[in-house]
Amino acid sequence: MTLAIEGVRVVEFTTALAGPLAGRYLAEAGAEVIKVESQHGGLDSFRVFSDDGNVDGSARYLENNLGVKSVRLNLRNETGLRLATELLAVSDVLIDNFRPDVLERLGLGVETVRAANPGLIVLKMPGFGSTGPRFRQGSWGPNLLAHGGMTHLWNHPGLPEPV
């Protein structure tokens, strides 16, 4: 059976939960998804959740990246940057859930990657958006829930302190 988006290549620069799950779901729908990580300070944060320190054996990382291929490149190196750009030139989608300016600072900003591939679909999903007072802040579920007011909404009645 042909899957819905078979033949689509997705390159992801993601960490933790929201970005990797987007890649996983696209892989489950048939896309070839390739996660790019940097051996020099840019591995997915869920890789550290292993019992034995093996960054390739973290169950939490594997669960959130199921069906996703992975490559490690040094994105602060000319060769690594060239390889990432060449990969994006033959891909259909780029997913980025880092802070808004991370890929730009590495030399993989939207204008640069679109010069290599004008038809590339770019999905940027920084937790606090690409503009505004908190756009440079990193985000995780708990601080997004608090900033969005969700923790207040599910507070237990009668308790003076929030959950």
Q: What is the mean pLDDT of each run of 10 residues along the chain (163 residues)?
A: 93 92 97 91 83 87 94 93 97 95 94 96 90 84 78 75 65
pLDDT at 127: 84
> What separation in angstroms does the CA of 54 have from each of 46, 47, 48, 65?
11, 8, 8, 16
Can you list the domains of the chain with their CATH numbers? 9-126 (3.40.50.10540), 136-163 (no CATH)
pLDDT at 157: 75
Are the CB atoms for 33 and 10 separated by under 8 Å?
yes
Total-model pTM: 0.87
pLDDT at 53: 84
Buried b (16+ CB within 10 A) or exposed e, 83-105: bbbebbeebbbbbbbbbbebbee
Residue-wise pLDDT for 121-153, tens only, equals 999 998 888 888 988 888 877 777 777 887 777
pLDDT at 74: 92
